[in-house]
Structure 1
Amino acid sequence: MLLRIGRTFVILIGLLSGNVLADELSSAGSNKSDAAPSQLPNIVVILADDLGWNSVGYHNKEFQTPHIDSLVASGITLNRFYVAPMCSPTRAGMMTGRYPIRFGCARAVIPPYRDFGLPTSEVTLPEMLSILGYENRGVFGKWHLGHRRAKWHPLSQGFTYFHGHYNGAIDYFDLSRDGVRDWHVGYDSSDEMGYATDLIADAATKWIRQSATSDAPYFCYVPFNAPHSPYQAPDDAVELYGSLSEVNGRDEKHREIYKAMIGRMDEGIGRILQAVDATGESDNTIVWFFSDNGGVGNLRGINKPLKGSKLTVFEGGIRVPACVRWPEKIKAGQSTDVVCGYIDLLPTLVAIAGGQCTDLTEKPIDGIDLTSVLAAPESTVADRPWFSYHGQSGASSEHLAIIDKGWKLVVNGPHLTSVKQLRSGSNQVHLFHLEQDLNETTNLKEQRPKKVNQLARQLIEHRALQPKDAVPPYGIGQAGFIPPPLWKLDPNEPEAIVGGYEAAEPK
């Protein structure tokens, strides 16, 4: 008999307690044919954007996040939850359970002018959940996985409802990117007005209430744009959460607005949780919350005490706040130090929904099923290396890292192709013993050269996975680009490209 987890499953981060529960979860995954859709949990994944490690109330009381804090208090905290060092790759890995370097989505984000998207050959999380009985699958907020052809639209990638924006870094008030309005319901442009964070939360809230009336379970994905730049917040939010009266300099001003953006997002999360409560299904709802990468480097202390920031592969760029709540099955107030992250959501959620990834895709899945950790936080998982990579500026400046058996190697510089290259001085090399130095304060590369070489070989092998047709470095193709009117896509022409250039695109 498939375990009844409830119709509501909100994703924040894994939270389960007890070996009995682990056995039940395992049984659920192996008997999916016995399950009725109403027995399956609803799933809600809440994703913040550029939220620093030290930018949540449970890490730093300067930031007011009572609703995020409540998720931590009532669920399980994932202390070592890792993501990609920037936006699009994290989203791509979460959607597929695979390192995005495998299908060309790791090097850089997808900017407005890029004719690129999550390959349609990939099998996404909502597509898998559809097969497992999730009839309602909505996404609210920032997509950022392809926007210039309809084949990359969320409704072409497994979702049944979309409300939000295609691009990142939109204006929070006029809802535009590159001067052109980017706000949609489905494929249609929407003329609704308001502050983007509020609109996202309100749309998700309304959809949850409606979807809960169905006998089928739902999957609700809420990728907020906040607190990503531009730094914009309503005046009342700035007054409530920050202070502009005594700040000096642009970065300090932006930091106060950043606090207000986080506070306003937390209010929206509160409304989403209230909507779940109103359906009467909160006990059987898993909520998974995390950030897509660490905070930016120019805002003081937002990743403290971690080293580095967004666009680096130090801990401050890739280790983020994360938690999971499931009141009926997970004991409140637990935490785990198991290394896990964005690629693990898909295999974990598929298992809880009663499926097996091997039945749903022929592609290798890099993530692992975390249900044992959710059931018993002291559990261990299969030993595996954890990889991080980006090369947004091009092959002359790439960032690679591997965490394996308590060690971490970071290599920054030109594309790494051989261990000998490390001896040339062209790359910056850092070796940390994370089991004793989680904040990366002591570089041990000179003391442990064999360990450096061993980990470097693994990094080279991982970097070699990137296909030749991967997303280009960030700046290529920007000159002369003209956005399409209202960033509109035609679902009847899924392969047609939208937007153009004033002149030929530079080679």
Structure 2
Amino acid sequence: MVAACSRADEGAPPNVLLIVADDLGYSDLGCYGGEIETPNLDALAAGGIRLTQFYTTARCCPSRASLLTGQYPHRVGLGHMTQDIGRPGYRGRIDPAAKTVADRFSGAGYRCFLSGKWHLGTDDPTRHGFERFYGTLVSAKTFWDPDHYLSIPADSERSPPAGLPQVETNDARSFYGTDALTERAQQFLAAARTTAERPWFLYLAYNAPHFPLQARREDISRYAGRYHVGWDVIRRERLARMKRLGIVPDDTDLSSRSHYWNYGQTRSGTNPPWDDLDPDRRQDLARRMAIYAAMVHRLDWGVGQVIGNLRQAGELDNTLVIFLSDNGACAEWDPHGFDIKSSNQNILHRGEELDRMGTAGTFHSLGSGWANACNTPFRLYKHFCHQGGVLTPCIVHWPAGLRASQGSLVHAPAHLIDIVPTLLDAAGIDVSRRSESEFPLAGASFVSELNREPAVPRTIFLEHEGNRGVRRGRWKLVALRDEPWELYDLMTDPIESKDLAKTNTEIVRSLSAAWDDWARTNQVTPLPDDYHVDYLKAQ
């Protein structure tokens, strides 16, 4: 498939840079319609390809399991998070028999590095194919504390990368997690170049813009006045830009404001109109979104630093760069967001308190109203299998290996399980031979589709916390936990607004039977009665 246009035939397989954002919404980037300034990712998109129907698993741990193994997450023990709930698909850690893409790349002579978030339930990424690791083993609890980040091997004694001093002030010189991951990634590139004859694989897994919402003051200031117009205006503006960019069809409607479910399911409702909120609440929420935007902006800056590093080294043309998010934006848990920790606790900030938001010692979330805007034009968010929870941006850039026109859009569906076979295909690594105990790859390379060859018909399956879905062609069957199946024709209704289940019973029967078969085969069912988390009641 890709051999005709890759450097593998010339004896120089591509380097691979896999960049992942954490809880980034579908429409946050400028090149996907957002108002956040993301010039570096926009440039990658302009020189590469954007996928508009790229599916994840709706949550961070499962998505990382699929991303790195090429398997559906339950198949490798990470159907939920890192709690072991005593079922094969839900052991809370990656199955020891599961090969990661780093295992495969290192076996083929690549040097493999990870800067960022691991979150696969084990305590040492270097046992899974990576030569060196810097970052967090779980979700970030703070972006300001260098002790929250560790190195394996411990050659730096958990110190921040060179040039980032350990100071606690919130100024441009202070330690900041996103910057630390960016700089350590560049140090790993320098290490890789000491063996120039060997290609490298760098997994750059940012924590941003996952809560806690924390950002540099200068970046927050850039967006401090942008979001007082509210989420209703932002959603309309984003959809208009998305149509101009071709991300969505011109006749796409804006979904209704999404439903939300509060922590512990103590309260539920629908995101309110922005203008119905009192002025103090609007000030607080506008500041939260400004901090979120600042985090995305800084992530984009970091991507620019790494891409500039590759360009300066003459490596950019034959480096396969893929950028994506692990799921849709995070609504936890209601329109107001939370403070201090993930819970029902919310603090309404006023006056001078607004200026302290996002600094060291603070802890905020975005809330469901803004998350709904980040996932424009779709319904729902992270945790759910409706489009807002599972569709994310996906940018592919590889000048030496892609024939498609720069700036192209690919509308064929793809999934995280396709990333490993795509990377291996691009590198010319044959995975047809495997041991009897080795899991076969569940996905398929999409290199040919990127090069404008016809898409291969396929079915994509989804499940998280009892929320479930299946996509086949134009049809998507989807359901909330304990609720009946809904059926949508995504060709005419991409926002899942017109449920056709009652009038297309044969399609429902066929797709639900396919989901049942997939679920049995991949250790998804029987679904757990208790996920061992406070926000989901045991059944």
TM bin, normalised by shorter chain, reads 0.7 to 0.9
Say whether the 8 Å CA contact 1:84–1:318 is kept in structure 2.
yes
CA apart distance, 1:466: 4.7
CA apart distance, 1:238: 0.4
2:102 corresponding residue in structure 1? 126
- Cα distance change on mapping 1:453 and 1:183 into 2, 3 Å: same
CA–CA separation in structure 1 for the residues paired with 2:327 and 2:227: 30
2:292 paired with 1:258 = yes
2:82 corresponding residue in structure 1? 110
1:497 corresponding residue in structure 2? none
Q: Which letter maps to 1:43? A: V
2:125 paired with 1:154 = yes
2:116 paired with 1:82 = no
Q: Which letter maps to 1:184? A: L
- Cα distance change on mapping 1:27 and 1:210 into 2, 3 Å: closer
Aligned residues: 421
Say whether the 8 Å CA contact 2:84–2:92 is kept in structure 1.
no
Where 2:501 maps in the other structure, the secondary structure is: coil
- Cα distance change on mapping 1:112 and 1:229 into 2, 3 Å: farther
CA–CA separation in structure 2 for the residues paired with 1:139 and 1:359: 27
2:157 paired with 1:184 = no
2:334 paired with 1:290 = no
Deviates more, 1:51-60 or 1:462-471: 462-471
Say whether the 8 Å CA contact 2:142–2:212 is kept in structure 1.
yes
Say whether the 8 Å CA contact 2:3–2:426 is kept in structure 1.
no
The match for 2:301 among 226, 246, 267 is 267
The gaps in structure 2 that reach 5 residues or longer are: 161-165, 167-174, 229-280, 332-367, 535-539
1:223 corresponding residue in structure 2? 205
1:492 corresponding residue in structure 2? none
1:457 corresponding residue in structure 2? 513
2:341 corresponding residue in structure 1? none
- Cα distance change on mapping 1:265 and 1:164 into 2, 3 Å: same
CA–CA separation in structure 1 for the residues paired with 2:434 and 2:422: 14
CA–CA separation in structure 1 for the residues paired with 2:533 and 2:488: 38
CA apart distance, 1:116: 3.5
CA apart distance, 1:72: 0.5
1:277 corresponding residue in structure 2? 311
1:371 corresponding residue in structure 2? 447
CA–CA separation in structure 2 for the residues paired with 1:245 and 1:390: 31
CA–CA separation in structure 1 for the residues paired with 2:442 and 2:223: 40
2:120 paired with 1:145 = yes
- Cα distance change on mapping 1:400 and 1:22 into 2, 3 Å: same
2:169 corresponding residue in structure 1? none
CA–CA separation in structure 2 for the residues paired with 1:43 and 1:470: 38
Where 1:323 maps in the other structure, the secondary structure is: strand
CA–CA separation in structure 1 for the residues paired with 2:526 and 2:517: 17
Say whether the 8 Å CA contact 1:53–1:303 is kept in structure 2.
yes
Where 2:477 maps in the other structure, the secondary structure is: strand
Deviates more, 1:331-340 or 1:244-253: 244-253
Per-residue CA deviation, residues 44-74 of structure 1 (Å, 9 max, x unaligned), is 0000010001111123342111111111100
CA apart distance, 1:243: 3.7
Where 2:18 maps in the other structure, the secondary structure is: strand
Say whether the 8 Å CA contact 2:425–2:445 is kept in structure 1.
yes
Q: Which letter maps to 1:24? A: A
2:338 corresponding residue in structure 1? none
Q: Which letter maps to 1:399? A: N
Per-residue CA deviation, residues 165-212 of structure 1 (Å, 9 max, x unaligned), is 10113211125xxxxx43111143513341100100111022213313
CA apart distance, 1:248: 1.8
1:406 corresponding residue in structure 2? 474
Q: Which letter maps to 1:369? A: S
2:71 corresponding residue in structure 1? 98
Deviates more, 1:251-260 or 1:119-128: 251-260
CA–CA separation in structure 2 for the residues paired with 1:470 and 1:42: 41
Say whether the 8 Å CA contact 1:109–1:474 is kept in structure 2.
no
1:72 corresponding residue in structure 2? 45
Say whether the 8 Å CA contact 2:7–2:401 is kept in structure 1.
no
1:24 corresponding residue in structure 2? 4
2:396 corresponding residue in structure 1? 324
Q: Which letter maps to 1:186? A: I
CA–CA separation in structure 1 for the residues paired with 2:530 and 2:64: 17
1:4 corresponding residue in structure 2? none
Say whether the 8 Å CA contact 1:111–1:167 is kept in structure 2.
no
CA apart distance, 1:472: 7.3
Q: Which letter maps to 2:532? A: I
2:283 paired with 1:310 = no
TM-score (normalised: structure 1): 0.77
Per-residue CA deviation, residues 424-469 of structure 1 (Å, 9 max, x unaligned), is xxx2321001122112121111111111111111111222235499
Q: Which letter maps to 2:151? A: V
Per-residue CA deviation, residues 120-169 of structure 1 (Å, 9 max, x unaligned), is 110110111112220x200001100114xx4xx21000100101110113
Say whether the 8 Å CA contact 2:24–2:209 is kept in structure 1.
yes
Where 1:446 maps in the other structure, the secondary structure is: helix
CA–CA separation in structure 2 for the residues paired with 1:75 and 1:310: 27
1:207 corresponding residue in structure 2? 188
- Cα distance change on mapping 1:299 and 1:174 into 2, 3 Å: farther
CA apart distance, 1:321: 0.6
Q: Which letter maps to 2:101? A: L
The match for 2:179 among 182, 193, 198 is 198
Where 1:81 maps in the other structure, the secondary structure is: strand
CA–CA separation in structure 2 for the residues paired with 1:60 and 1:477: 35
CA–CA separation in structure 1 for the residues paired with 2:525 and 2:509: 29
CA–CA separation in structure 2 for the residues paired with 1:97 and 1:82: 13
Q: Which letter maps to 2:401? A: K
Q: Which letter maps to 2:315? A: E
CA–CA separation in structure 1 for the residues paired with 2:287 and 2:515: 39
CA apart distance, 1:110: 2.2
- Cα distance change on mapping 1:359 and 1:442 into 2, 3 Å: same
CA apart distance, 1:334: 1.1
1:448 corresponding residue in structure 2? 504
Where 1:119 maps in the other structure, the secondary structure is: coil
1:56 corresponding residue in structure 2? 29
Say whether the 8 Å CA contact 1:105–1:470 is kept in structure 2.
no
2:133 paired with 1:173 = no
2:256 corresponding residue in structure 1? none
- Cα distance change on mapping 1:265 and 1:93 into 2, 3 Å: same
TM-score (normalised: structure 2): 0.73
- Cα distance change on mapping 1:469 and 1:116 into 2, 3 Å: farther
2:13 corresponding residue in structure 1? 40
